[in-house]
Chains A and B, each alone.
Chain A
Amino acid sequence: MKSSFYNTPGKHSGLLAWVLSTDHKRIGLLYLSCMTVFFLTGMTLGLLMRLELIAPGRTLMAASTYNALFTLHGVIMIFLFIIPGIPAALGNFMLPLQIGAQDVSFPRLNLLSWWFYITGAAVAITSLFTGGGAPDTGWTFYVPYSIRTGTNVSLAVFGVFLMGISSTLTGLNFVTTIHRLRAPGMSWFRMPLFVWSIYATGWVQLLATPVIAITLLMLMAERFFGVGFFDPAKGGDPILFEHLFWIYSHPAVYIMILPAMGAVSEIIPVFARRTIFGYKAIAFSSLGIALFGYLVWGHHMFTSGMSDEARMIFSLLTFLVAVPSGIKVFNWVASMYKGSIRLDTPFLYVMAFIFLFSIGGLTGLVQGALATNVHVHGTYFIVAHFHYVMFGGTAFAFFASLHYWFPKMSGRMYHEGRARVAALVLFVGFNTLYFPMFILGWQGMPRRYYDYLPQYQTGHVIATIGSWVLATGILLMVYNLLRSLKDGEKAGDNPWGGTTLEWKTTSPPPAENFEKIPEVTTGPYNYK
């Protein structure tokens, strides 16, 4: 084998060559492997929840176990999987390659971010087994319940705090890298769209994450010292906590989706063998989403007792953020027009992404409209919405890019036949699992319910069956990828015929990325 970063470990060897490496590719793979483990754990919890919900009443576990399960499921999926998902894992690996740099601006800071991430994850997981037991607040940590409950909220929150630092530092690193380390000739409008989306995401990480950090610190101060910020008995205002929480957590959903959108914009031109339609529109809509994303957090609080004026303004702003998402969708579809399309697995996932994300996004409109939000808030309608955007959106885009970049990262091809079957099973399972939840939600089934009234059972049974189909698909996909690592065909440097810079180096790339830093003379998707 030619020299690749796998066989140039640097100062250390063995495991240390990974956990102490400052090579962005190794750090990316570190994130990727940890994340996969957490993802499967989170999914297993999801599966258990579905089992419990197959029938009303107690099926498997006690109410307190169930409550801990969905809290953990939410925390793991959001903070351990989906937020670091595309940016920290794939972004770390691909960003410097795509802009023709040797590494990120601050390689040691990058490693430190991973350490923050893994420490935070360890702390969060420790919270399950120590103190008062697994936290049971839901991933939103709403006060005053989160202050009163005897479970181990403080430790879990501290874990999330550490992961927040990790996310902020990653954003800082990427923004600086994109400003400073682009290869000669790569002007802003010659950057791949994935880089644009990471850039927009980086700013959101920088500006939003500190707010959750301070909010969680206040929550801990409440629990340890009884300061009174959120305790009505001392004049505190629980609604203010909701504001603070969503000031971060709404922008955070764009941390989740923007890189996914970037990856999709990367894959479409390659498999349609033509340039992207409306490059600038897609690039600017990323910034637009990041910008408007700050202004809409109140749509999570339409029934909280917030002032009616605020409800109106937040509803209006919420609708504005849908427009740039629409622009992206339209441009993607237009990019297929008169292309020469190969329906390989990455592209199948991308098509699934567009379909599922549109469903998730459009039902977001139902939630953003005041009159209907009141009815669906706090029900399974919301649960369906966010699984469609987060799982159907981000996670499907993640699967797409995992297959797309698999040859670059590993030097081998995955097995195409198995991969397509997995994609199909996943798609069917996904819709069977989550579509009934829209109906359940509209019928009034509240979320975070351990037990439910019998009239909701049909929907729950279908969903539970769907979860098994989905699990089969996931297992097949994971099996296929792992096995292809060992016995997949050797991939060339550029198996898909991509035009961005990561395809101009060997697969897997050498430690310093490029033999010679490339000179950029055209836009990123030049298929002329």
Chain B
Amino acid sequence: MNEQDKHIVPTKTFVSVWIVLLMLTAVTVTVAKADLGAFSTFTAIMIASIKAGFVLWYFMHLKYEKRLLKLLLLVPIITLAVIIGLTFVDVWYR
């Protein structure tokens, strides 16, 4: 039961992830300047989610965790999505 996981992430991986994150930040700032109309919010959120994914997957070590934990993470995310979704059934149709 007391297994500590053996995997130590190489520095190189972390640094590359960091560089990707910085690049994505640059992209989102640039894209925001170019007015994409209705899509601008969508792209901003998508890029943010990709960034969040990288942070979760590498920095937060999720990639190396057991499947249980990966699945559990879906629980709060789905809950939040459902809560916002159902509230918008009210807000949009009001």
Asked if A and B form a direct contact in the complex, defined as CB atoms under 8 angstroms apart, the reply is yes
> Could you list which residues of chain A lie within 8 angstroms of chain B, going by C-beta atoms?
180, 203, 207, 211, 239-240, 243, 247, 294-295, 297-298, 305-310, 313-314
Does residue B5 face the partner (Cβ distance < 8 Å to A)?
no
Is the beta-carbon distance between B1 and A313 smaller than 8 angstroms? no
Is the beta-carbon distance between B89 and A207 smaller than 8 angstroms? no
Is the beta-carbon distance between B90 and A294 smaller than 8 angstroms? no
Is the beta-carbon distance between B83 and A211 smaller than 8 angstroms? yes
> Could you list which residues of chain B lie within 8 angstroms of chain A, going by C-beta atoms?
1, 75-76, 79, 82-83, 86-87, 89-94
Task: Give Cα A237–Cα B3 distance, bound, in whole angstroms.
Answer: 51
Is the beta-carbon distance between A310 and B89 smaller than 8 angstroms? yes
Question: A247 is contacted by which of B75, B83, B89 (Cβ under 8 Å)?
Answer: B83
Within the complex, the shortest CB–CB distance from A239 to chain B, in Å, comes to: 7
Contact residues in B for A308 (Cβ distance below 8 Å): 93
Is the beta-carbon distance between B75 and A294 smaller than 8 angstroms? no
Question: B93 is contacted by which of A240, A247, A307 (Cβ under 8 Å)?
Answer: A307
Within the complex, the shortest CB–CB distance from A299 to chain B, in Å, comes to: 12
The A-B contact count (CB < 8 A) is: 40
Is the beta-carbon distance between A310 and B86 smaller than 8 angstroms? yes
Task: Give Cα A137–Cα B5 distance, bound, in whole angstroms.
Answer: 52
Apart from A211-B83, A247-B83, 7 more pairs, CB < 8 Å: A207-B75, A239-B90, A243-B87, A243-B90, A294-B79, A298-B90, A313-B89
**Main secondary structure on B side of the interface with A:** helix
Within the complex, the shortest CB–CB distance from A25 to chain B, in Å, comes to: 23
Is the beta-carbon distance between A294 and B94 smaller than 8 angstroms? no
Nearest chain-B residue to A243 (Cβ)? B87
Contact residues in B for A314 (Cβ distance below 8 Å): 86
Question: A310 is contacted by which of B1, B79, B90 (Cβ under 8 Å)?
Answer: B90
Task: Give Cα A140–Cα B91 distance, bound, in whole angstroms.
Answer: 21
Question: A307 is contacted by which of B79, B83, B94 (Cβ under 8 Å)?
Answer: B94
Is the beta-carbon distance between B1 and A294 smaller than 8 angstroms? no
Is the beta-carbon distance between A313 and B86 smaller than 8 angstroms? yes
Contact residues in B for A309 (Cβ distance below 8 Å): 89-90, 93
Is the beta-carbon distance between B86 and A203 smaller than 8 angstroms? no
What 8 A-B pairs come out closest when comparing CB atoms?
A: A307-B93, A310-B90, A309-B93, A310-B89, A307-B94, A306-B90, A307-B90, A207-B79
Task: Give Cα A309–Cα B86 distance, bound, in whole angstroms.
Answer: 10
Task: Give Cα A247–Cα B94 distance, bound, in whole angstroms.
Answer: 19
Contact residues in A for B87 (Cβ distance below 8 Å): 240, 243, 247
Within the complex, the shortest CB–CB distance from A233 to chain B, in Å, comes to: 19
Task: Give Cα A294–Cα B90 distance, bound, in whole angstroms.
Answer: 16
Contact residues in B for A313 (Cβ distance below 8 Å): 86, 89
Within the complex, the shortest CB–CB distance from A106 to chain B, in Å, comes to: 16
Within the complex, the shortest CB–CB distance from B4 to chain A, in Å, comes to: 15
Task: Give Cα A305–Cα B89 distance, bound, in whole angstroms.
Answer: 13
Task: Give Cα A65–Cα B14 distance, bound, in whole angstroms.
Answer: 62
| 25 A–B pairs (Cβ distance < 8 Å), ordered by A | A180-B1, A203-B75, A207-B75, A207-B79, A243-B90, A247-B87, A294-B83, A295-B82, A295-B86, A298-B86, A298-B90, A306-B90, A307-B89, A307-B90, A307-B91, A307-B93, A307-B94, A309-B89, A309-B90, A309-B93, A310-B86, A310-B90, A313-B86, A313-B89, A314-B86
